[in-house]
Each structure stands twice: as C-alpha cells, then as structure tokens.
Structure 1
Amino acid sequence: MPSKITAIKPQERRKDRVNIFLDDEYAFSLQSILAAGLRHGQELTEEDVRRLQQQDAVETMYENALHYLSFRPRSEQEMRRYLRKRGADEDITEQVLGRLKRAGLINDAEFVRFWIENRETHRPRSAWVLRTELRQKGISEEQIALALSDLDEESSALNAARRVVSRWESLDEETFYRRLLGYLQRRGFSYEISRRVADHLWDAMEAQKGTALNERALPDEHKERNSKEWE
C-alpha cells in the first residue's frame, strides 16, 4: 500500500539533505537534489522508496569518491577498494565507477603516466619498484610494460642521487660510495647502475675540488709574479 509524503524537512546539520516523512512519521533522508522532484502529498510505494534510497546511496558514494580524488588521481582498483571500504555494495560501486569513467576521472592509462612522472619529479625509483607499486594498484602487466618501456633508469638514479649528494661532499671516498650506493639500492636501483652513478658524481666532485684549488692558487701566483716585476 502506498504511503503519502506528509513533510519534507531540511536537516539542521547537513543543509544538503532533507528528511522525508511518510504518513506523519520519519521514513528516510535524501540529498536535496534527489528530493527536488518530490512534493507534499505525493504517494510512494515501497519500490519507490527503495529506488530513492539506492539513488541516494549512489550520490553519497559519488561525492565520497570525488573527495578521495581531490588528493591525487586514483587507479580503478584503488577507487573500487575505497568504495567497498566505505560500505558500497557491488552494484553501487559499479555505478559510481561508471560515472567516474565517463567523466574522465578514472583512467588507468592516465594514472600510470601520472604515477611515473610524479615519482620521477619528486621521488625517483627504479623500474622494479615502479612495477611493484603499479601492480599493487591493480594496473595490468601490459599497461605497466608499455609505460616503463621508455624509462631511463640510470637517469632516474642520477636524478635521485643529485638530491642528496651535497650531504656527503666532505666524506672520504669509501664512506661516500657506501652511503650513496646504499641510498640508491634502497630505492630499487641495481648495483651496476648505482655504481656508475656514484663513479660519475665522485669524479665530478673531485674535478670541482681541483678547479676550486686552482682558482685559489691563481691570486698567489699573480702576486709572486707582480712582486718579481717590481724588483
């Protein structure tokens, strides 16, 4: 038997939601946008109520998903796990994911590009580490292989090393190598790549030190030469 809407009242704490009263009793709440099509005196069947509550659950989860995306892009699997953790059933999860995909907000190919570029810019990692991270986020092996095919690991390792090498400029050679090799290998780079990068940076530092010593010596040489000219 249908029930009649006897009141539609805005919630005090959440202005975006309203409480629906059927036959003078509180029945359920809805987002205001969904309640816009309802009117006082309208009759609702049990099926109507279930449909409205389902739509409300989808809208609520969609808003949660947008909030989750506001921090950074997400893979499809990340979003799926998040929605299920928030209590969405399979049907609601698929509806929300469908809307996000149609809006271009969930796209695994774009997510992979974002992830690798972000790592390269802020926290360079080896291909092995990147592959592991992307697998954990549900990215397919095919997409991972394609995205990593152009990765220059030695360049990534050099980029990572340059961020910290200034800390160790005053160290002796053995300590410098031990610390830099350990730093790079903890980020997944092979010993061979780490060693080549360490060799390059050590040689560059030594050359720079030699140049600095020569520049400091030049004034003394000029001073001695000028002194002899005045004798």
Structure 2
Amino acid sequence: MPIITKITQQKNDKERYNIYLDNAFFFSVHESSLVKFGLTKGMPLDEFLKDDLIYEEEIQRAFNRALHFLGYRMRSEQEVRQKLTEAEFGDAVIREAVLKLKKLNFLDDTAFSEALLSTQKNSSGKGPEAIRQEMKKKGIDPSVQEAVLDEYDPEEQLATAKRLAQKAARKNAAIAPVQLKQRIQNALQRKGFSFDIIKEAVNSIEFEPDEDEWTAITETAGEKAWRRISGKYSGYERKQRMKQALYQKGIPFDRIDAFIEKKELEENGE
C-alpha cells in the first residue's frame, strides 16, 4: 500500500497542497480535502481513499468553477447547474458542488428572484407576468416565484403602468386616439401587466386632441396615405381607399372627407 512520504504547499496557490506517494508526486489537493481526510506524512493511502480524494477534488473544482461564474453577477441554481454540465462535470459532482454553494449562501434562488424582481420592475418597468416568465426561464421553483412576486404591490404596478402609458402618449402624440390607445394597451400587455392594471392606466390618459392636434394628426397620416395610394389608384377608387386607410387610423369621417377634398383641389390647381 503506498505511503504519503511528503506534503508541500504550492507556491502560487496557498490553498493547495502537493501529495507525494512513495517519494513520487501523486496529485494536488485543496486545503479542505487535506483537513477532511486528515492527510499526514506517513499515512497509508489505499485505493478507496484515493478514489474518495479524487472525487472530493472534482467537487472542489466544480465548486471553484461555479464561484468564478457567480463572480460576475447573481445566478439561479439552474444556471449554475447548466454551466457545470457544459464544463463536463458529472451529475453527482454537480449535485455536491451545488449543495456546498447553497450551504455557504453563494446560491439562493429566493435572493436571486428578489434581485431579479427589483431590477426588472425598476430598470425595465416590467409587470409581474413578464417577470414571472424571466424567473421561469431561470428555473425558479413556482412556489418561490409566487412568494417573490407577491412583494410587487398592485399600487406600485399601477404607478409604473401609468408612467409608461404617459410616456407612450407623449411620444406618439401625432397618432389618432383610437390607434394610440390600442398601441399603449399592447405595450403594457407585452410588459406583463394584468388587464385591470392596463385598463386603469389607459383610463388615466387624456386621449382627445385639441383642434390643432387633430389637424396635425390628419395631415401626417393623410399625406402618407395619399402618396402611397395615389401612385396606384385615382378617382372613386382612390377616395374609397383613402377613407378606409384613414378610418383605420382612428380619424373621424368629417376630417377624412375634408382632407381628401383639399388634396383633390390641390391636384386640380384650385
């Protein structure tokens, strides 16, 4: 049975030690393995103990790889497991490394989810359903998802939805009310807000333009449609297609008729 004849500390990594068996280098171990197995000079090392040491070192390597991965930002347990799988560690080794990470609080899906919630709602203005999808992609347990999302107060959701709705309304002031309202509803739905929150946020916006704003809306949409349609149609067909195009934009018929009449007069030089 081989005997440990020498144990030396590595110069470049003070936490690792070189193990020599019968005066020949065997392999290096982490300080934790040295302590766990009570390795000392003169100690016999049978095959079972060798296998245990190798297994323990593989766990330590996986643990260190995960720590490096976690050094950039917080990760979910699923992300860490996937990273270690990609690094070709075995399932048993990954399981032990993850247990060690969790025991030392380096890995905590609840804390990760709380941080994700904070980032997504404050930086991206996302609603609970969109954040839930993010958590799901990260492999967060449904019970943890629910517990964390319960912290997203409905009043805070409404305030965020209103802020986004008002911003969209200012940005798209040249769009007719019907179309603008639908655009805002779609945007808030994509952000992950509930129907009730969206409805209340949309209702907080004043959608009725004044006369000057209606004129600008009609002119902008009308000129664009006129250029597109006049290149293909004329007469009655052009007029009907213009009415259809502008009505779909939410512009009232009286304003559509006035715009078309103005364009036809311009075309005739009147």
**TM (normalized to structure 2)?**
0.57
Residue number in structure 2 paired with 1:220: none
Segment drifting more, 9-18 vs 88-97: 9-18
1:26 corresponds to which letter in structure 2?
F
Aligned partners of 1:198 and 1:109: how far apart in 2?
A: 33
**CA separation in 1, counterparts of 2:110 and 2:138?**
12
Evaluate the alpha carbon distance shift between residue 13 and residue 87 of structure 1 in structure 2; reply closer, same or farther with a 3 A threshold.
farther
User: Match for 1:139: what amino acid?
Assistant: I
CA distance in 2, matches of 1:35, 1:150: 45
Indicate conservation of the 8 Å contact 2:157/2:197, yes or no. no
Number of residues of Structure 1 aligned to a counterpart in Structure 2? 203
* Residue 166 of structure 1: how far off its partner (Å): 6.7
Question: Could you say which residue in structure 1 is the equivalent of 2:175?
Answer: 174
- Give a deviation string over 1:164-183, Cα, whole Å, max 9, x none: 97798576342894886665
Q: Which amino acid aligns with 2:107?
A: I
The equivalent residue for 1:22 is: 21
Cα separation, 2, equivalents of 1:163 and 1:17: 54
What is the aligned partner in structure 1 of residue 97 from structure 2?
96
Q: Is 1:187 paired with 2:191?
A: yes
Whole-Å separation in 1 of the counterparts to 2:171 and 2:148: 38
Give 3-state SS (helix, strand or coil) of 1:6's partner. strand
Q: What's the RMSD between the two structures over aligned residues?
A: 3.7
| 1:101-120 aligned within 5 A | 101-120=102-121
Partner residue in 1 for 2:241: none
For structure 1, list consecutive stretches of 5 or more residues without a partner in the other structure.
207-231
CA distance in 2, matches of 1:113, 1:146: 10
Q: Report the counterpart of residue 134 of structure 1 in structure 2.
A: 135
Cα distance in structure 2, aligned partners of 1:168 and 1:130: 24
1:42 aligns with 2:40: no
One-letter amino acid matched to 1:187: K
Higher gyration radius (CA): 2
Structure 2: gaps of 5 or more residues: 211-270
1:14 is aligned with what amino acid? D
Change (3 A) 1:78 1:170: closer
- The TM-score, its normalising length taken from structure 1, stands at 0.65
Quick one: percent identity of the two aligned structures? 26
